[in-house]
Structure 1
């Protein structure tokens, strides 16, 4: 086969998505720092799922149309820097196929070369030894070797082989990878996607190891409906999602099991983002969940942070309703009550746009309350290090606050690119999204407090960036494995104080690590210390920490210890001059 069309490209995309789904925990484990927040695999999996979902129902044989739809699905579902970069690679890939019904090996090689250019331009400071390098080197080799008449499977195999070879070289380009003994996680995820492409071309389409939304759908019934029939009018072309049920067993000691502490209220709040008809009940160490979700895999990924599944069930409500439609054609059914209707964010909002609004990304009910009630941020997107929101999540939040100018505080370096993509999507709608590149919660809070409604968006951003430069941020969490980084050794289950991109402190308990971290961050000009306590810190411990810090630093700095409720990090710390 020397030509690739849209039908086969769709099969390749689904196979690639399934392949990374089956491998994402291993990719997460490639995280350089031994903290319980490795999420590159999760982000790339969810991004690919979004792209595959976009094309899974199409029967279009036009390769450009399918590539374009895939690209848009990736963009809207992009999570984290790895997801955004992946979306940009395939955005360029789609551009390279513009105007083509089919593509041969040379066309594919040229498309991957354009993908390289678009992806590099999307990153302000491209770093070699990452997914960018893996795709670039593979694209260049294929571009040199591709010929008219070359079988498509041979071309993709060349690309895959070079991508895998490039991945093995990434530790030579990034010293920290060599020090830790891993390859680049984003590059590894990209190789899994291309491996799935290759398997599809060899008639070995990868299947998922657990049920999810991305699978080749049942063929759509093409028979014309009578629009005057109430059953047909209400049910035709609806995607009702999946009735998802599971029982989750919580570990006795979450930290030792590498899991997060379970909070029933927060758990339900997050599930509200994923579907409706939610029932979540905890009985000792078991959690029983029922939810109608469009993306069961996303629900499973989130839930598995807290425990392990002992029972799973997923049923397609769409197929059940298609059966009702068939009965309706035979006059054997009446229109059911609609319970799953999607409501667009902008629906029925005819009020004038406000001049200014703001959106912050954060995890933890205490931190959300500080942003919303304490500082006055209008919209909150639930997310953070272990659960990066997608471009679509941020876009929806911006639309919901209903303003002409919206400041977005990502509060995580891995979310800045998704926020910037949301800004690009909303610009043609006349909404000016100002992404303030905050990389930590303290930076976001300082930036949000600097907002001045009497000056321009540009002046506000300038003042915010200046304020950010004056704050130091740190976090305390535990190590999930033994490692040595920057000459600092840490053993599994020890606590670490992280400052910037380095391990600033190591302690056998979290309070010890907190004290050592603060010592490393304080200097003669430090005048404000803020500690946000995580979900694992009780009220008594918070009081004890504040008393100890008052004794040690109270004569030279203002001390503020607050409840944050964040997962993963026992403490988030800021020190200001």
Structure 2
């Protein structure tokens, strides 16, 4: 039996079918993933987005599950909140456009499907700051044009759906003609392929035809297998940054303009004060700060596109959040931001009640910090952000809670350690702020890391892979090794007035190098005390503190 229209129940089933299709084709779509800027796996991202939709639909109670308005709201909200990667965000806008038209109509016939696809195309293009043809955008648009033409000619639901699918398939086949990177790799666009599975699911709902089987897995020329990222780094920006942004609708255009100066592949979708945001950039902190300037970013996810290793757990999860013992109630507690098991342990030993994961490249949101503040057994709380990029988010917490919250503007881990020497759990947050801030100001902080791209600095050109010594927000040393960068930075920072140097070794620090740094310090400054701690922090082999 061929359906002439789809009701709310049929639309729910259709979304389940679409999710199943994406799951079946996940690995094939992943193999096609050669987007102009390297991204996460398209098949996985689209499948997880559809999973979120189905979960939202499953949460509807029996009284609303048959109502088109409720089903379409669930589809729109579930896709927005669950969108992963560039392709997932664009898919969420396709579903949002369809849902708006379907909700107004109450049932989906040929005319409604055509109008829905047209709205989906408009929404998808509007979401992308610099639309690229030869991608899912092209396939959606040309499918929509065909659907509208079929509906204008009086076609029913089956005719409209088949027209959209046929022209969509032709459009997908032409994507390599529009995007040279696809032609070079010998593939079609992965996102467009995933969208066609939505049209396949529509046809299954209309006349019961089976979903197409995924083609045999064959690695295309120029494309890498999902688990083989090779050794050659791709061109382009290094990081994919995604987060949800609570911000007024009127602020979003300015936010998008700020992002345009930081990167590309910009997608900002949503409405009614909630936005799903995606950008490729080399400036993670700047991308997050742009969000903080207009609202509240949360559920921040960062992917290293060169390594395709997701590091978003640093922000998303509090360190040992489920097992951390916040201790007995006190008048004033401390919440600190840090990453690395050793650093966490030191903070706890100094009296910190809750450590929120974050730091140099992963910035927790105000919501993450607020959750930690609410968790500690104290009416007054001091936050140690321990990074300049986190101070702004931390300062917003006080207005979101009935507790009294103050922020000691620490910009480094060693400043955070020093501030705790003046912490009094029996005092007020205001009193602690004064003493702790003064102690932090007495520390000269430094950091050593590795350059991720070529650049310039006040002390010379920087080549990717160079070791950098940083202090005071600028590059002080460019060197060929961690030892040279660290000793060069210490030579710049330490003088005869200093008494203590703290060295916090990161996950990438080599024990022999650390020992050599200590020996150098003892030889150059025989009267100075050197403290070494195993911090375990990523990305930064050494944090330094000079007092």
Name the TM-score class by shorter chain. Answer: 0.3 to 0.5
Q: Which has the larger radius of gyration?
A: 2
Structure number with higher relative contact order (C-alpha < 8 Å, ≥ 6 residues apart): 1
